[in-house]
């Protein structure tokens, strides 16, 4: 599994200060950034460690897609636009499974509307095809 992990560590001198962990799927040429932590707050360190260094790694390794993780409208300013994803779970208890299924059906409608709303505020200009 080590070939599927990439750890980015920010240091002050020789002391670790923050880290970000990527999961890399070579088969789909995708890196997933999910975990980040720091010992103290330093402005912009989160984006440097969890995004900019991760993007640089993806470019160097010719990884086509960097999935920056869920949540965070603040990511839009850095051109991480919201997308929906699939998630697969198996819940053994049938009653709990039905409850989760019903919740997700309702949640999907709200998430879809929210993604559409956020897309209206994209920092990217839409490319117009000449006619």
| pTM score, whole prediction | 0.67
Ramachandran angles phi, psi of 59, nearest 5° = -65, -50
Q: Residue 129: what pLDDT? A: 44
Tell me if 93 sits within 8 A of 48, measured CB to CB: no
Phi-psi region of 126 (alpha: psi -120 to 50; beta: other; left: phi over 0): beta
Q: Tens place of pLDDT for every residue, the chain, 131 residues? A: 788 999 999 999 999 999 999 999 989 999 988 789 999 999 999 889 988 999 999 999 999 988 877 666 666 766 677 677 677 789 999 999 999 999 988 888 888 888 788 777 777 766 444 44
């Amino acid at each position: 599994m080590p070939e599927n992990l990439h750890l980015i560590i920010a240091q002050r001198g020789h002391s670790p200060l923050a880290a970000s962990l990527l999961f890399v799927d070579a088969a789909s040429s995708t890196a997933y950034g999910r975990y980040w932590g720091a010992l103290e707050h330093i402005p912009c360190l989160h984006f440097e460690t969890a995004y900019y260094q991760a993007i640089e790694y993806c470019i160097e390794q010719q990884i086509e897609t960097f999935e920056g993780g869920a949540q965070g409208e603040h990511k839009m300013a850095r051109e991480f636009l919201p997308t929906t994803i699939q998630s697969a779970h198996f819940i053994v208890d049938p009653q709990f499974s039905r409850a989760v299924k019903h919740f997700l059906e309702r949640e999907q409608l709200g998430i879809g509307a929210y993604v559409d709303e956020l897309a209206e505020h994209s920092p990217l200009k839409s490319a117009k095809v000449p006619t």
